[in-house]
Amino acid sequence: MLKKDPSVVLMGEDGRIFRRRVPRHRGTATQVRRAARHRHPIAEGGIVAAAIGMSVNGLRPVAEIQFADYIYPGFDQIASELARLRYRSAGEFHAPVTIRTPCGGGIRGGQTHSQSPEGIFTHVCGLKVVMPSNPLRRQGAVDHRHRGR
């Protein structure tokens, strides 16, 4: 998917995302064109806002938030802008943004890296929340998402 579609852009705040130290990204650096990788400072609201802007202009960003606990600064952008963009513009604009973030106790992150805020997002109209149970289902969900379904 990342090799085939030039509109897909991978963006994240963790520099290790491109050095394959994070297990969920093993092999990603070899799959993604250099032009499609964007490293960002630790500013979740800015990452989400940049992803929204990119998507409105024809790209399909995959924004990576390092841990789900850090998504709260971007929540207002997600709930107030991203989720409502199509409705507010009467269908003129849409924002095909994928936001990935690990959550829950399985990442062994301790008290500040083990929250599961997905329930908050399930109550926001206009968002789709996907919680795959294993790596194969995760890849299927990502591929399905980028085919526009």
Catalytic residue (choose from 113, 123, 144, 146) = 113
Closest CA relative to residue 85, chosen from 96, 72, 74: 96
Is 38 annotated in the active site? no
Closest CA relative to residue 109, chosen from 49, 75, 65: 65
Please name the amino acid found at residue 92: E
Query: Which segments within the chain are labelled E, that is strand?
Result: 8-12, 37-39, 60-64, 98-100
For residues 144 and 70, what is the distance between their CA atoms, to the nearest angstrom? Answer: 26
Left (φ > 0), alpha (ψ -120 to 50) or beta: where does 58 sit?
left
Instruction: List, in sequence order, every residue forming a beta bridge with 98; answer none if it has no partner.
Output: 62
Q: How many helices and strands in the chain, by DSSP H and E?
A: 6, 4
Q: Which residues are catalytic?
A: 113
